[in-house]
A = this chain, B = another copy of it.
């Protein structure tokens, strides 16, 4: 009935994650496994402390005992190296943030060794400060890799934890999958607006990575055949037409918009974009117009994505959408409407991530947990 792609262990953890609390009978029904099989796998998980029994539901006969994930049974650290800040997140099994920390990004001048030392120290103090036992932490997920961190190996040595690299959009998608409890079988895409535009696509429970782990370059969908040159070397890319850099540059170029948003000395793209979005939200017309213009393009690109991979859920995430989803979400919905109703007979939900600003870091940590817990090697 329901697909069973790998072991019972994974299926059970996924089911509980998506719809906790659950009894064993319900688990059997959802995963397609036997009650016998559920019984034994659950016993194992109880033994490892990953799952806890909590409460019971009365029925006609023996009441069901409900199962939950123990949020702090295993944890992982997510690190997001952004242009101007580095975000650290400590995440438990349920995707919930146990503690977090933000620090200004390491100066561009600092050497590789310095950067590694700094990250290792921050991660260590985050874990220690959280009160959770160090051995429960399974690893570090790292997003937005700095070229100085080409060898994740270094950070592994410095901290003793395994390190997993991922790109921001894919990590954000996985984070969403955990935090927002997307059903395992449902394909969806997370659109990420940070200093650029990316998409994390999850199909069949697994993120789509492609040949070179470089799937999801949403910002380089072409929206104008002979459009302006993009830094990537092509022309007419979404990012070159309506990316955050373009919005920020346009705002700086227009004295009215710059005034509305209070753009002073050059800061990071992310910070400036957020300033424009805040101004627009407060009613500033010039800033609003800039965002509306950007949203037209983003919406068209979103439609392309939906038509190509056929998802019926789009999650907007990342700092950019955290600040400006009030413009982009309606634009996307409006753009998708006519063709969906007339031709495709589908209805795509567009939602905004609940934790858009930390989505990537959370997702990176979730990926580490997922890898480790599914297979069960300690």
Contacting residue for A310 out of B206, B212, B309, B310, CB 8 A:
B212
Q: Quick check: B223 and A312 within 8 Å, CB to CB?
A: no
Given contacts A224-B223, A335-B234, A338-B234, contact A310 B346 (CB under 8 A): no
Cβ–Cβ < 8 Å partners of A230 in chain B: 339
Which residues of chain A from 156 to 212 have any CB-CB distance to chain B below 8 Å in the complex?
186-187, 199, 201, 203-204, 206, 208-212
The answer to whether A300 and B236 touch (CB under 8 A), given A224-B224, A308-B308, is yes
Residue contact B217 to A308, C-beta cutoff 8 Å: yes
Q: Does A119 contact B (CB under 8 A)?
A: no
Which B residues lie within 8 Å of A224 (CB)?
223-225
Assembly of this chain: how many copies? 2
A303 interface hit (Cβ, 8 Å): yes
Determine how close the nearest CB of chain B comes to the CB of A235; give it in whole angstroms: 8
Tell whether, in the assembled complex, residue A210 and residue B339 are in contact, meaning their CB atoms are under 8 Å apart. no
B304 near A338: Cβ-Cβ < 8 Å: no
Residue in A203, A222, A232, A345 with the greatest tally of chain B CB atoms within 10 Å: A222
Q: Tell me, yes or no, whether A273 is within 8 Å of chain B by CB.
A: no
A303 surroundings in chain B (CB, below 8 A) = 220, 222, 234
Known: A234-B303, A300-B236. A211 touches B312 (CB 8 A): yes
Residue of B nearest to A297 (CB): B225
**A309-354: which have CB < 8 Å to B?**
309-312, 335, 338-346
Q: Is residue A296 contacting chain B, with contact meaning CB distance below 8 A?
A: yes
Q: How far is the CB of A311 from chain B (nearest CB, A)?
A: 6
Contact call B304/A208, Cβ cutoff below 8 A: no
- The 8 Å CB contact of A220, one of B201, B214, B233, B304, is B304
Residues of B near A232 (CB, < 8 A) are 339, 342-344
Chain A contact residue count (CB 8 A cutoff): 55
A224: nearest chain-B partner, CB-CB: B224
Chain B CB within 10 A, most for which of A5, A199, A307:
A307
Q: With A220-B339, A232-B339, A339-B220 in contact, is A225–B344 under 8 Å at CB?
A: no
Q: Taking CB as reference atom, which chain B residue is nearest A230?
A: B339
Q: Mark A91-118, 1 if CB is under 8 A from B, else 0.
A: 0000000000000000000000000000
- Distance A83 CA – B217 CA, assembled complex (angstroms): 35
Query: Which of A221, A224, A341 is packed against the most chain B CB atoms within 10 Å?
Result: A221
Q: Collect the chain B residues with CB atoms within 8 Å of residue A231's CB.
A: 343
Instruction: List chain B residues, Cβ under 8 A from A345.
Output: 212
**A189's closest neighbor in chain B, by CB?**
B308
Q: How far is the CA of A216 from the CA of B209 in the complex (A)?
A: 17
Cross-chain contact B222 with A311 (CB below 8 angstroms): no
Contact B234 A339 (CB under 8 A): yes
Task: State whether A300 touches B225 (Cβ < 8 A).
Answer: yes
**In the bound complex, do residue B309 and residue A215 qualify as a contact, i.e. CB atoms below 8 Å apart?**
yes
CA distance A181 to B234 in the complex (A): 31
CB distance from A84 to the nearest CB of B (A): 23
With contacts A210-B309, A212-B312, A214-B310 taken as known, whether A304 is within 8 angstroms of B222 at the C-beta atoms is yes
A-B contacts, 25 of them at CB < 8 A, read A187-B210, A203-B210, A208-B309, A210-B311, A211-B310, A212-B312, A212-B345, A215-B309, A216-B310, A220-B304, A220-B307, A221-B221, A222-B300, A222-B303, A224-B224, A224-B225, A225-B297, A226-B296, A231-B343, A232-B342, A233-B339, A233-B343, A234-B303, A234-B338, A308-B309
Name A residues whose Cβ lies closer than 8 Å to a Cβ of B: 5, 186-187, 199, 201, 203-204, 206, 208-218, 220-226, 230-234, 236, 296-297, 300-301, 303-305, 307-312, 335, 338-346
